[in-house]
């Protein structure tokens, strides 16, 4: 009889698995909402009532920014401010339930496993170290803005001499799936993050998963 470890070793090796961070690995939604509302009050943008979050989960980034009244030219500045405010709180936030249990197997089945996020490297490192999972990831890539993930996915392919189709990008937002499609990377949509299951499904991801353990069937 083969052990679970033997089964993992005999599983076909995936070339590269890349995760988004916020909402995919880290449960940052609640704290992110608090920080956003503080910024909204300071700058005269629309404050988000927790009861409105479910409706906002159906919007892509462009429609969300329009709804909130945030000028596109201000996004990078406000994002940087939000990341600084998050830094002192990041280590206290929770890992998405079920992620810890599957990471070792996913790492063993992948030549490279990393993170591509619009959060800053310092926050990601602090969170991973706080939860004792930094060693599971071979790289962290931060873009420090809401757009540009496609370009960075292509850069990851070049760095590791990969065909883009040998990369899986796991994300919880419409913009993650669109970036993957633009970079010709296979997209794995997870339903436990920001965007709703229905809005993610409309983007036609390669895989749509409801729980972290389902990632083991993908990789």
Residue-wise pLDDT for 48-85, tens only, equals: 999 999 999 999 999 999 999 999 999 999 999 999 99
Q: Which H helix or E strand runs over 169?
A: strand 167-171
The answer on 112 and 176 residing in a single domain is yes
The last residue of one of the domains, among 91, 124, 140, is 91
Q: Please list, in sequence order, all residues whose beta carbon lies within 8 angstroms of the beta carbon of residue 157, skipping any fewer than 6 positions away.
A: 16, 163, 164, 166, 167, 183, 185
- Does residue 76 share a domain with residue 51? yes
Which pLDDT score is estimated for 9?
46
Catalytic residues: 20
Q: Which of 203, 181, 27 is nearest to 168 (CA)?
A: 181
pLDDT at 145: 76
Q: Are residues 64 and 22 in the same domain?
A: no
Same domain assignment for residues 20 and 103: yes
Same domain, 140 and 191: yes
Worst-scoring range by mean pLDDT, 34-43, 137-146, 206-215?
137-146
Print the domain residue range for 105: 4-27+93-218
Q: What is the pLDDT of residue 11?
A: 47
φ, ψ (nearest 5 deg) of residue 81: -65, -45
Q: Which of helix, strand or coil describes residue 217?
A: helix
| Average of per-residue pLDDT across 19-41 | 96
68-73 long-range contacts, CB within 8 A, separation 24+: 68/40, 69/44, 69/45, 70/45
Average pLDDT over residues 91-99: 96
Rounded to an integer, the average pLDDT of 18-33 is 96
138 has a pLDDT exceeding 90: yes
Residues of the chain above pLDDT 70, percent: 94
Model confidence at 12: pLDDT above 60? no
What does the mean pLDDT of the chain come to?
92
Q: What is the pLDDT of residue 13?
A: 63
Site of tokens 């990377």:
185
> Does 2 have pLDDT greater than 50?
no
Mean pLDDT of 104-124: 96
Asked whether residue 3 carries a pLDDT value surpassing 50, the answer given is: no
Taking residues 41-50, report their average pLDDT: 96
């Amino acid at each position: 009889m083969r052990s679970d470890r033997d089964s993992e070793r005999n599983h076909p090796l995936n070339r590269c698995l890349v995760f988004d961070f916020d909402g995919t690995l880290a449960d940052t939604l609640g704290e992110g909402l608090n920080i956003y509302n503080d910024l909204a009050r300071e700058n005269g943008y629309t404050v988000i009532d927790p009861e409105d979050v479910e409706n906002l989960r159906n919007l892509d980034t462009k429609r969300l920014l329009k709804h909130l009244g945030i000028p596109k030219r201000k996004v990078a500045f406000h994002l940087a401010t939000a990341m600084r405010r998050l830094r002192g709180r990041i280590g206290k936030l929770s890992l998405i339930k079920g992620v810890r249990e599957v990471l070792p197997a996913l790492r063993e089945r992948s030549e490279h496993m990393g993170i591509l996020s619009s959060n800053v490297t310092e926050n990601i490192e602090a969170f991973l170290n706080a939860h004792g999972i930094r060693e599971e990831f071979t790289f962290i890539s931060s873009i420090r803005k809401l757009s540009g993930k496609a370009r960075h996915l292509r850069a990851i392919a070049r760095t590791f001499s990969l065909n883009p189709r040998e990369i899986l990008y796991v994300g919880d937002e419409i913009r993650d799936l669109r970036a993957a499609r633009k970079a010709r990377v296979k997209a794995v949509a997870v339903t436990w993050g920001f965007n709703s299951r229905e809005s993610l499904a409309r983007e036609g991801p390669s895989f749509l998963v409801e729980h972290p353990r389902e990632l083991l069937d993908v990789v």
